[in-house]
Structure 1
Amino acid sequence: MNDIREVEVVVTGAGQAGLSSAYHLRRTGFVPERDFVVLDHSPGPGGAWQFRWPSLTYGKVHGMHALPGMKLTGADAARPSSEVISEYFERYERTFDLRVRRPVDVRAVRSTSVDAGAVGAQDGSAPRGRLLVETSDGTWSAKALINATGTWDRPFWPRYPGQETFRGRQLHTAQYPGPEAFAGLRVVVVGGGASGTQHLLELAPYAADTTWVTRRPPVFREGPFDENAGRAAVALVEERVRRGLPPKSVVSVTGLPLNDAIRRGLADGVLDRLPMFDRLTPDGVEWNDGRHVSADVVLWATGFRPAVDHLTPLRLREPGGGIRVEGTRAVADPRVHLVGYGPSASTIGANRAGRSAVREIARLLAQGEEEREAAAAA
């Protein structure tokens, strides 16, 4: 057990949620490498942004909110967002001396307590024992965990009949290289979210033909998205995680902003939507009514799922398939906080959630220290 390193808190992930949490840990008095450690599996700073396609320039980014304590200023809107935001995250890590360890893969989180997830599950009191965070770079022992692993590593691929027979190329948004790679090809884009519409608008000048299919008719939002509307949208997502259901993205309940680019796409027919096809064929997709669309590529813009498989040993999942969360705290184990999960899965939401998680963890650790002192005095 001598190779296990002890800290107060382990932060897994160094995207917006992880860096925000690390910043607030420092502000609260926790010292990097002594009191807490940040583990990130990515090759460099930038979180999921570093993997975005080159044509997604910073000027096209919707809703990027600055990290706490340092604004992003002077960015060239024409540069790829992957470059702009990665450089910003790197400056942020240096400025606040967050000492992110990378690349480190977190493989499993286990509890040393026999009754993990039982003690304190309802009232927030501290459970007994530590958390063991097993990684590609050894094991850390911690009193609390901030899980900020996001969703990028878990692209969602729906299953449809005939998928294995399709002779063309299938890829997910996570693998999208930019529109030039599809020059002269017939492309079917699946998905009614922001990524799907962005792909279609980009592909139109390059592809021989594009077809848009979604399970539900897309909802376009007119007018400004004010603070009240934002709160209402977050509340809908928050209600799901309180019930232990898998979270939906905040975007899924806000609709798509009807901006100038979307209006042009609708007027030009680029965003003419078809209902979801019933099967893939060797040369395209088809519907039960006999309609067939030939395709060289099926691009699945079907979203992502939370990357939380490493938490499986803690048995946090509810029968509904999600992790029940109050604020950021996992109800089944108050040592575990999920930041960037469900209602905090946005850049501004992650900032606020990081601060909230650190406050709760500080109280949890103080309570544990008081109980130990009382036990020693008894």
Structure 2
Amino acid sequence: MPAVDVFEHMEEAWKLERNPFPAEAIRAQHAEQPYSPAVFSEEENAFRRKLIRGAVSGGQAIGFLWSQGARADTGFGKTTLMQEITHEINSDLGATTLEKAGAKKAQPPIAAAFSNLNNLNAAGLYPVLFNAVIDLATAPDSGSVSVFDKARARIVEKLGQDDADAIAERVREAWITIGGTGGPLRSELVDAFAAGGSKLRSALAAVTTTARLRNGLQYLDFALAALAAAGIDHLFLMIDQLEDLATNRSVTSPKRSREIGRIRDLLESASYATRLHMIFTFHNRAAQVLDRFWEENRLPPFEISASNTSAVVVLRGLKETDQAEELLRVYLEDARLEPFEDDLLPFESGAVEVLREISDGRPGILLSRARELLNAAAEQALPKISGTFTRKYFDGQAMPADADDRAEAADFGDDIDDLLLGSR
């Protein structure tokens, strides 16, 4: 039998221009990827209500986004949720997020930045802060502007003129007003921000690795001052991959203690205490290693407990087939060549349930397994992917590529219950 062109089969049989699923369970920052809030609607709403509105209304300084599964801690969608909420906040400076969180009246504008702790062997918290400032200076897509650009526009509106000197002076005045204790702001940042355009991004791109390591706090100072000058008094730092601080073997105990101590320092400074809100990802392995360092620095508790529910949101994976179907649907829709009545084609519901089971309900793992399965089914030119084929494939017993077997694999899979019950 001649070899099947998998891409041609995807196009003709399934109306897909490509395999839409990611090869790795990794979410890239600023990369446009399909997303459906319906997959984890309860957890997403809890994130807004507890970690965002709770910080604005109740002054909560630190929150935690946990993942917790039966056999694993990663791949549950923490990075995706953080990035999506960051984008949502910055799209209208928090108006939509706070409204969805249940706020009944107009709330103060807020901003958010995403960063991560994935290179602590060569860096530390200060480069994380620097990367957060880079995020504030970066437009999320070609059709929008950065948070700093929005802040500058608000300052111009308040001043009634677009004058660089006046803008710079307003930023410096704001730093004094909010109690800045770290010395004067870096003049090159203030001047670049005041000048507008791409000058601030260029100034940040020119900062050396050494300066990022040593002076990250100064860049955060500038960010808080620029936002305060624009009337934006709350900055949320979404800090991902805290597990690297715990699981990276090159990070010594003294370094862990120092970096966590720096988190404590931020909470004790007047200029950060009420304006800066940090949300960390967490899981059991990280908790076991970091517990004593957290306690030594008297940081707010991170454990999942009845007494700490206001500061914790937990992702436990895809519990229902409907959730897995919705996750697959948005990725399939993104690659569909034309509208199709069966928006899960080529997956039958039995296949989706098997995918959910073998991935332990972890979205990232499910998507990478779906990619693998889709390729395997295309190689055999299957019209649909049944639960039977999926189960056998992941057991290492994929169906043969005979035409009769292909038809059986498509027709038999999700109708097996009907056959057994005698309803067909």
Higher strand share: 1
Higher helix share: 2
Q: Does the TM-score normalized on the shorter chain lie above 0.5?
A: no
Q: TM-score, normalised by structure 1?
A: 0.26
Q: Which has the larger radius of gyration?
A: 2
Q: TM-score, normalised by structure 2?
A: 0.24
